[in-house]
Amino acid sequence: MLKEVLIGILIGTVAFTVGMLLGHFAIEKVPEWVKDASQDVDEALIKKFLAELDSNEIQENLRELTKVPHLASTPGDEATVELILKRWQDPKTGLDSAWREDYKVCLSFPSKTNPNKVSVVDEENKVLFMAREKEKAYKPEQEDPDVVQPYAAYSPAGNVKGKLVYANQGKMSDYELLNKTLDLKGTIAITRYGGEGRSKKAINAAQFGIVGVLVFTDPYFINDGVVSESGTYPNSWYMPPSGVERGGYSTDFGDLLTPYLAAKEDTYRRPIEEVTGIPPIPTQPIGFEDAEQLICSLDGDDAPDDWQGSLNCTYKLGGPGFKATSSFINSTVHLDTYNTDRLENSANVMGVIRGNVEPDRYVIYGNHRDSWVHGAIDPSSGTAVMLEITRVLGKMLKEGKWRPRRSIIFGSWGAEEFGLIGSTEYTEEYFSRLSERTVAYINVDISVFGNTTLRASASPAAQSVIFTASKQIDAPGTKKSLYDNWIEYNNRTSATYGVIPNVGFLTGAGSDYAAFMHYLGITSVDFSYDYDRSKTRAGIYPAYHTAYDTFDYASKYIDPGFTSHQAVARTAGNVLLRLADSLLLPLNCSDYAESLELYLSQAVSVFEEKLADKGISLEPLQKAVQLFQETATKLESLIRDSELAKETPLKARRINDQLMLLDRAFLDPLAFPDKSYFRHVIWASRSSKVPTFPGLADAVEKEDWNQAHKHISILTQAIAGAAHTLQDGI
Amino acid sequence: MLKEVLIGILIGTVAFTVGMLLGHFAIEKVPEWVKDASQDVDEALIKKFLAELDSNEIQENLRELTKVPHLASTPGDEATVELILKRWQDPKTGLDSAWREDYKVCLSFPSKTNPNKVSVVDEENKVLFMAREKEKAYKPEQEDPDVVQPYAAYSPAGNVKGKLVYANQGKMSDYELLNKTLDLKGTIAITRYGGEGRSKKAINAAQFGIVGVLVFTDPYFINDGVVSESGTYPNSWYMPPSGVERGGYSTDFGDLLTPYLAAKEDTYRRPIEEVTGIPPIPTQPIGFEDAEQLICSLDGDDAPDDWQGSLNCTYKLGGPGFKATSSFINSTVHLDTYNTDRLENSANVMGVIRGNVEPDRYVIYGNHRDSWVHGAIDPSSGTAVMLEITRVLGKMLKEGKWRPRRSIIFGSWGAEEFGLIGSTEYTEEYFSRLSERTVAYINVDISVFGNTTLRASASPAAQSVIFTASKQIDAPGTKKSLYDNWIEYNNRTSATYGVIPNVGFLTGAGSDYAAFMHYLGITSVDFSYDYDRSKTRAGIYPAYHTAYDTFDYASKYIDPGFTSHQAVARTAGNVLLRLADSLLLPLNCSDYAESLELYLSQAVSVFEEKLADKGISLEPLQKAVQLFQETATKLESLIRDSELAKETPLKARRINDQLMLLDRAFLDPLAFPDKSYFRHVIWASRSSKVPTFPGLADAVEKEDWNQAHKHISILTQAIAGAAHTLQDGI
């Protein structure tokens, strides 16, 4: 018995000792946060998310958003503020929190009592012709009393008259050509949209003594030549003869009176006289049916071939003034504008989902809310998509199924149409925090131009995540992925990947990504669905900025069934989730290197010889691009060799910081002293046609060799600096 | 027996199960990096470090560094490059790595064959007087053929002559006063150091048609009136009669030809004609014994009382020219300068210790290496201290006893004397990475001015760590801590702490902290040991920038025994270790708030009424300061409530990022368009005497009310932005 007891005790003791030893180790428990810190993207969750995005919901969003015109700062705009707040504060499908942020910004409006007038008046002061004050009503929407009549925002008020000339697109070269044979002083110029920024048509004109400018959309460009009512909306997607593109007439963006400062109540406002980039002379857009009356009555020489369009005559330059055979003979054109600049309240609506692991890293998703009229496509197609994304994410969040690794910020920007004002004021007010913490900005403004293919423009760092997302989503009406469909319509050959879809560069300031990309250097992406550009000359959907951009138009001619909206929601939402949830940020620095190499090869092939003649070498720039490329390769191999989920979270954070700050490293606030807000030396806007580094291209264009050399140095330092950002060491 | 067996089995089973269960947990081992991530400052190690810093080593460093003159880019400079490289690459006491970085910068030198000349010449071209070309030799050092003769760096070469006038300190107000009674055109002005920047004396003069400028150091200011050889060096610390302060004559800093761009071989260089801020007319410094000859011969009215000094006569304004009783009657002063601007190679020496936990966070410690002559005090007293710090750290590192949490970078900057060139080029070249990753910059240039008390200037964020360090170190020759000793000589009353030592603000650009603090917005600290300023009028040690600033001078009159050097080494080293090793960065945002409140209260008391008269309110600025203060309090209570060593390392990283980026958030590259490199809206240089926000103070001074309002908005946005940086949320 003793033996058995001893054996029992022995077993017990050994077992207990083993237990104790193990227990000793077990005391040092693995902290909870060790697992949290490695939270990564969940592919199953993404699939579920994509499946829940509903085209019907998007359609109903659009219907509600476009009930009334919602021009910035009007009651219609305020109604959309409240709609979005209500959605984002919904207890079942809302976000963590949502609020409004108001700015007091300088907007320009026509007079309600004194409409702008374009008329032809003869020598006895008899009015022979008066352009329409309103677009023709085909549907009740056009009769809404809140439809703002066509005008050029920020054109000054004034009453001018003069002989008419035709100045093509209002480019400097157009006026220079006219000026060779005509005395332009005191004339009024009629110009076409395109080829030059809206306000520049008037800024250029004023340099030649022209006193007023008219602008119209040539049906050649927008309607593939169709001019008849029977061939245009409501019978097709084309612009009706009375349709007029409204627009902000300013070269800069952000509130005009408070550059670099958020436009709060007490903020210093510069006098309007100090504002450059807006028309110095009265300017007014008109429909092409009115433009035809004027242009087809002009005297003078035939305009050059590339100045001709689809109006029913040979375009002439003007005598100046009208031809003898016209009823307008000896008459002048009178342009009377009554626009006023007013300080108005404009709201951004902000919504937030707080991040679980890295709340101090932001992914921002935004679109503007204001429209010119009903704005079904521009911007409500984007807002309808955003609201569907927030509904599904909000539901997942409120049901406790998900909280992102990083914080997500949604922005519904105000007063974009007047010059990207809401988003710009936001970046000004929160400049430091956004610069420090923002991983990426996703913009979906016009979500659907047409039904053919995905379209994306982005910082090259984001190309790969766009591709990943687009491979997971079906292209509506096809059996292909968005990616495979896209590659058919718009591709390029990459040195690394072969033939791939063509992601555009964000070199312009066409929507609210501008302040993020150019001013703050935040990796940005802009998504939409597009029509087949090989089948039409239309540069944009024809109802753009007219009173015909309605729910009726959108649902009949742009996206019946709303499946293209849905495809965009899925793409943007997928990219958003990957940016917010991935342990390793899905940003690719080698793709950036490839873009720099592309720009460099352009610079070498077009400029190298010219520069060498002046003793200027591109070699430093070549070396910097090479350094960048090598550094990118090194970082990617470090990433490949890491098991981030098992290593210290500080390692993933370190690499992610390098990727996040990559675009920031290209900023130089003094590189373009005359281009407000453009600080990104690679993607800043460019006048030159050569697709390469903007500061260099524009300097070579102007044959300013000192400036060219200086920009080579600026670029060299910025690109080497971006390489340093990617370097782990010191 | 069965019972016993069963009991035995039962015990065994239970024990084993317990063991298994515990074992199960023990399988999930705590990863090694969990402990690493909480690496914190080790007080015992700091004590050991402080004890090892050796005054004899510092003395021997100084002796070696000052063997020969080491003017930037000369062979003497090159020898110090090699010395430092050798130390930092030493296998037993060196750093992880060290290397040199070369820039090609624009320096200015006098001619070796054609010395600059200041003479008095009579009507028959007879030279009546010639100022010394060299300072008088009292020791072999002054006879070294490599002593550069006194000159004003960047003064143009030229040969001018004119009647002499005395223009006090060369301020605009000085010339304006002279100009009331005298025709200044074509005259030469003699001025005193002080009251105005070196180059501005000449820039201001040129506006009155003055053709040349002489500068001297009035013994009233530097020598407490002592003028005799018997009372000056080598018999005391005072400047000998022939002593001349050399200097860089430029208002800007960094290489003059490559602003914002690192001066590499191929970098674009603007033409020298585009450089502003340097003397437009020949300018030359002379000794006070020569100045006395000139000033005491002047004709004209007595100069105002505050223009008088210690030369042996009543200073007069000049006829212009000399008085009838003087032997110089009817003579003119001739100034012949032969300086040339040359592109020369200047090296920074860089040394690095890689961080263990956060290698991508940098603490930078630096000092310049170049001197005007032997530069024992300026800058070698600082370099001697830096080399002792790196020796002790290197030893700890090589012995495997220590590796810092964060990376440490040491910089031995080149060509500081010509305008902070080496450090500025470094910040330009590595702008992105340094902005992203640098926690703080510590500068120790002249480490010892005297033997009385510690002196520190810093961003307010660093005040607390400076206090912590200074409380742990004994003040040499006392039984008190540096802190307690300091508080006796230089204190202020803080709203939070009561009476504390006075840490100065870094509002100027007096040493290499300038580019870090003002251009990059990096929290910076500048240390030295000082004399008792209540006992002398000397604004700086009297041998400053002369050929008398030698090892002999330093060891006899500035710090015999080198204990003050040692105290500075201990203070700067302690602060360095705390910044590099602390889990939570020892930066205090509430102390920053207190400084902002101080500036605000100044602005309110001096400007509020004037501004209100113009309809401008300080309220937005007050609100921003209040927001900052509240946010700082909140962050500090979050820190108090945290156990960072036990929580996810991402939390400490997040808070540390907020603290690191605090000073960065005050940057606005467009706030001061005419002050190159000054971007920090709180600490930028200021012309106004009111100790408050510089942009606002200077605008009110000029009665430019639009500018004042604009600066209130700039400040409001920057201070609110800095508060946002401290906010955890979105």
- Which of A266, A269, A680 best tests the B interface by mutation, with the highest count of B CBs <10 A? A266
List chain B residues with CB under 8 Å of A619: 266
Residue A38 domain-assigned? no
| Domain of residue A12, residue span | 2-30
Lowest-pLDDT choice from A272-276, A413-417, B5-9, B554-558: B5-9
With bands split at pLDDT 50, 70 and 90, how would you rate the model's confidence at A128? Answer: very high
- Which of A9, A717, A728 best tests the B interface by mutation, with the highest count of B CBs <10 A? A717
Residue-level pLDDT at B32: 87
Task: Please judge whether B432 and A36 are an interchain contact, meaning their C-beta atoms are less than 8 angstroms apart.
Answer: no
Regarding whether B560 and B600 lie in a shared domain, the answer is: no
Regarding whether A157 and A271 lie in a shared domain, the answer is: yes
Regarding whether A347 and A266 lie in a shared domain, the answer is: no
Residue A36 domain-assigned? no
Which of B581, B604, B635 is the endpoint of a domain?
B581
Residue-level pLDDT at B256: 97
Query: CB-side exposure of A360: number of CA atoms within 13 Å?
Result: 21
Task: Please judge whether B724 and A432 are an interchain contact, meaning their C-beta atoms are less than 8 angstroms apart.
Answer: yes
- The CB density around residue A543, as the number of other CB atoms within 10 Å, is 28
- The CB density around residue A370, as the number of other CB atoms within 10 Å, is 29
Residue-level pLDDT at A6: 67
Which helix H or strand E contains A715, and what residues bound it? helix A705-726
Scan for tokens 């003979």, then name that residue: A329
Q: Rounded to 5 degrees, what are φ and ψ at A500?
A: -140, 160
- Distances, alpha carbon B558 to alpha carbons A51, B531, B607, in Å: 78, 9, 43
Task: Please judge whether B712 and A268 are an interchain contact, meaning their C-beta atoms are less than 8 angstroms apart.
Answer: yes
CB-count burial class (<10 Å; 0-12, 13-18, 19+) for A615: exposed
CA–CA min distance A367, chain B (Å): 19
Regarding whether B310 and B296 lie in a shared domain, the answer is: yes
Residue B698 domain-assigned? yes
Regarding whether A615 and A524 lie in a shared domain, the answer is: no
- The count of domains in chain B is 3
Residue A35 domain-assigned? no
User: Token digits for B334?
Assistant: 């001739």
Scan for tokens 């100009």, then name that residue: B179
Torsion from C-alpha of A562, A565, A569, A570, nearest 10 degrees: 70
CA–CA min distance A335, chain B (Å): 35
Regarding whether A159 and A181 lie in a shared domain, the answer is: yes
Name the strands in the sheet holding A453-458, side by side, starting at the edge strand that comes first in the sequence.
A97-109, A340-353, A406-413, A358-368, A438-443, A524-530, A453-458
Question: Taking phi first (over 0 means left), then psi (-120 to 50 degrees means alpha), and beta for anything else, what does residue A615 get?
Answer: left
Task: Please judge whether B617 and A266 are an interchain contact, meaning their C-beta atoms are less than 8 angstroms apart.
Answer: yes
Instruction: State the DSSP code for B460.
Output: G
User: Token digits for A459?
Assistant: 């910082």
Residue-level pLDDT at B142: 98
Q: Which residue of B has its CA nearest to A667?
A: B432
Collapsing DSSP states into helix, strand and coil, what is residue B659?
Answer: helix
pLDDT at A23 over 80: no
CA–CA min distance A647, chain B (Å): 7
Q: Which of A1, A264, A730 sits opposite B409 (nearest CB)?
A: A730
- List residues bridging with B284 in a β-sheet: B214
Residue-level pLDDT at B674: 85
Q: How far apart are CA B423 and CA B426, in angstroms?
A: 5
Which helix H or strand E contains B224, and what residues bound it? none
Q: Rounded to 5 degrees, what are φ and ψ at B603?
A: -60, -40
Annotation says A123 is catalytic: no
Residue-level pLDDT at A27: 57
Which of B338, B363, B398 is the endpoint of a domain?
B338
B592 within 8 A of B461, measured Cβ to Cβ: yes
Task: Please judge whether B729 and A354 are an interchain contact, meaning their C-beta atoms are less than 8 angstroms apart.
Answer: yes
At A493, the amino acid letter reads: T
ω into B115 cis (within 30 of 0): no
* CATH code, domain carrying B448: 3.40.630.10
Task: Please judge whether B5 and A8 are an interchain contact, meaning their C-beta atoms are less than 8 angstroms apart.
Answer: yes
Single out the residue of B701, B698, B727 nearest to residue B715, CA to CA: B698
Under-50 pLDDT residues of chain B: none
User: What is the average pLDDT score of chain A?
Assistant: 96
Regarding whether B86 and B233 lie in a shared domain, the answer is: no
Percent of chain A with pLDDT over 90: 94
Scan for tokens 């703080």, then name that residue: B440
User: Token digits for A312?
Assistant: 């029913």
Single out the residue of A580, A621, A617 nearest to residue A600, CA to CA: A621
- Distances, alpha carbon A128 to alpha carbons A153, A191, A212, A329, A335, in Å: 27, 21, 19, 10, 14
Which of A322, A338, A354 is the endpoint of a domain?
A338
Instruction: State the DSSP code for B40.
Output: -
Residue B553 domain-assigned? yes
List chain A residues with CB under 8 Å of B710: 268, 270
Residue A229 domain-assigned? yes
Q: How far apart are CA B730 and CA B728, in angstroms?
A: 7
DSSP characters over B278-290? S-SS-EEE--HHH
A356 within 8 A of A179, measured Cβ to Cβ: no
Regarding whether B540 and B448 lie in a shared domain, the answer is: yes
pLDDT at A5 over 90: no
Query: CB-side exposure of B183: number of CA atoms within 13 Å?
Result: 3
pLDDT at A296 over 60: yes
Residue B28 domain-assigned? no
CA–CA min distance B535, chain A (Å): 46
For chain A, the farthest-separated pair of C-alpha atoms sits apart, in whole angstroms, at 136
* CATH code, domain carrying A609: 1.20.930.40
Single out the residue of B79, B99, B87 nearest to residue B393, CA to CA: B87
Q: Which of A23, A266, A360 sits opposite B620 (nearest CB)?
A: A266
Scan for tokens 């084993």, then name that residue: B16
Regarding whether B320 and B363 lie in a shared domain, the answer is: no
- Average confidence (pLDDT) over A526-530: 98
Residue-level pLDDT at B134: 96
A–B: how many Cβ contacts below 8 A?
244
Q: Which of A5, A12, A261 sits opposite B15 (nearest CB)?
A: A12
Task: Please judge whether B34 and A37 are an interchain contact, meaning their C-beta atoms are less than 8 angstroms apart.
Answer: no
Residue A330 domain-assigned? yes
Regarding whether A119 and A86 lie in a shared domain, the answer is: no
Q: How far apart are CA B549 and CA B587, in angstroms?
A: 36
List chain B residues with CB under 8 Å of A359: 654, 728-730
pLDDT at A4 over 70: no
* CATH code, domain carrying A176: 3.50.30.30
Regarding whether B478 and B536 lie in a shared domain, the answer is: yes
Model ipTM value = 0.95
- Output the 3-class SS for A284-328: EECCHHHHHHHHCCECCCECCHHHCCCCCCCCECCCCCECCCCCC
Residue-level pLDDT at B728: 87
Regarding whether A80 and A186 lie in a shared domain, the answer is: no
| A649-A654-A660 Cα angle (round to 5) | 120
Which helix H or strand E contains A528, and what residues bound it? strand A524-530
B200 within 8 A of B176, measured Cβ to Cβ: no
pLDDT at A25 over 60: no
